[in-house]
A and B are shown apart, each in its own frame.
Chain A
Amino acid sequence: MHVGLEHYLLVSALLFCIGLLGVIARRNLLIIYMSLELMLNAANLAFVAFSRFNNNLNGQVMVFFIITVAAAEVAVGLALIVALYRRRQTAHVEDLTTMKL
């Protein structure tokens, strides 16, 4: 069977679900962050696939922006995790319950 747009979209959807599963099921902050990266990458793949099959370059520009924003987000997020670890000595979401009622 010839590989078309829907094959790429299926891979993208599955990768997004894997990332979502990681965000929900894992308890380590670092692994949650990696799963977030997986979800962003899944969106990127869908963008590139749509861009290729619609003959429109705007999707690829959007992916370029997403990659840059993701890099900034990772830098800030990891700095937050380090600051949190210094204060609380934990990177485990179940130990961070200050906001819990």
Chain B
Amino acid sequence: MQDLMFYLFAALTLICGMLVVANPFSRNPVTSAMFLVLTIASMAGLFVLLHAFFLAAVQVLVYAGAVIVLFLFVIMLLNVKEEERRKIKKVGLVTGIIAVIAISSIFLKVFTLSNSSLSAQLPAPTLEGGTAPLGKILFTAYLLPFEMLSVLLLVAMVGVILLSKRNLK
């Protein structure tokens, strides 16, 4: 049952991710943003299968709830029309595809290098990523990075306000 769910969510993640990047039916950025929501949601499903319940909730709240809404607001603000197809430069396309193929072959090589199954050598997973253990480690071992993160968010907020002023001096 869990394996079936994994294949379902993995297929959904990859198909929707592909549709974010290259949608054959629509060039509208709004469509891409909507498929990004689907990708994020199915990825939250994968997180649940990995017993990372808190992160699954955070993923849906922060990404699907905040980041995508921000994207949609900006698309609405910019009033981006359906972009016309432009000619992509041959050199750029060829080098880009070579780069992607190179990276994917490196990844695939890693999988084929380990001829014995990776997870067969590991003990059975028992970790539960609930809120309580994660909160405990976040406020003890990772207290300083956590506080620095709040400063980072403050800096980002100030920066965004400054950047969106009408006349930058």
Q: Footprint of B on A, CB under 8 Å?
A: 1-11, 13-22, 24-28, 30-31, 33-35, 37-38, 41, 44-45, 48-49, 51-58, 60-61, 63-65, 67-76, 78-83, 85-86, 91-92, 94
Contact = CB atoms under 8 A, between A and B. Distances in A.
Contacts of A1: 3
Contacts of A15: 13-14, 17
B74 A64 contact: no
A3 B145 contact: no
Task: Name B's interface SS.
Answer: helix
B129 A2 contact: no
A2 B125 CA distance: 13
A60 B55 contact: yes
A25 B96 contact: yes
Nearest to B162: A79
A19 B36 CA distance: 11
Contact of A74 (B70, B108, B155): B70
26 contacts: A3-B3, A3-B7, A4-B118, A4-B120, A5-B119, A5-B122, A6-B111, A6-B114, A7-B6, A24-B99, A25-B96, A27-B86, A30-B78, A31-B20, A31-B29, A37-B36, A41-B40, A48-B46, A48-B129, A51-B50, A51-B127, A55-B125, A61-B142, A64-B58, A65-B149, A83-B163
Contact of A76 (B33, B97, B138, B163): B163
Interface residues of B, number: 82
Given A49-B50, A52-B50, A52-B51, A35 B21 contact: yes
B71 A30 contact: yes
Nearest to A58: B137
B78 A91 contact: yes
Interface of B: 2-3, 6-7, 10, 13-14, 17-18, 20-22, 29, 32-33, 36, 39-40, 43, 46-47, 50-52, 54-55, 58-59, 62-63, 66-67, 70-71, 74-75, 77-78, 80, 83, 86, 88, 92-93, 96-97, 99-100, 103-104, 107-108, 111, 114, 117-120, 122-123, 125-127, 129, 133-134, 137-138, 142, 145, 149, 152-153, 155-157, 159-160, 163-164, 166, 168
B59 A67 contact: yes
Contact of B134 (A57, A72, A75): A57
